[in-house]
């Protein structure tokens, strides 16, 4: 792991600390070791999950009695999109 094993949370700026808090310091060190100095792009979940998959999830949740507002809040999408995708 090289020098990455010496990385402490105190070495990180606020944004870096936020990532380390989410994934854990050991995983952050692994990222530093593997990708240090390289620009990496992390896509939004919406670009990874297809509309049909989201629609299926919404349909199942609606059948279980969840409201469009509950589903929208959980998925962090507009209620109008929940309604559109649940048709």
pLDDT per residue rounded down to tens, the chain (87 residues): 688 899 999 999 999 999 999 999 999 999 999 999 999 999 999 899 999 999 999 999 999 999 999 999 999 999 999 999 988
Helix 51-63, helix 68-75: angle, nearest 10: 140
Q: What is the pLDDT of residue 86?
A: 87
Please check whether residue 85 is in contact with residue 51, taking contact to mean a CB–CB distance below 8 angstroms. Answer: yes
User: In Å, what is the CA distance from 42 to each residue of 17, 32, 47, 86?
Assistant: 17, 15, 10, 28
pTM of the entire predicted model = 0.68
DSSP label at 9? G
């Amino acid at each position: 792991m090289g020098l990455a094993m010496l990385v402490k949370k105190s070495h990180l700026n606020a944004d870096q600390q936020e990532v380390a808090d989410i994934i854990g310091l050991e995983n952050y060190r692994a990222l530093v070791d593997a990708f240090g100095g390289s620009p990496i792009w992390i896509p939004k979940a919406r670009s990874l999950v297809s509309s049909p998959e989201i629609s299926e999830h919404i349909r199942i949740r609606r059948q279980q009695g969840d409201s469009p507002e509950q589903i929208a809040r959980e998925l962090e999408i507009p209620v109008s999109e929940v309604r559109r995708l649940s048709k």
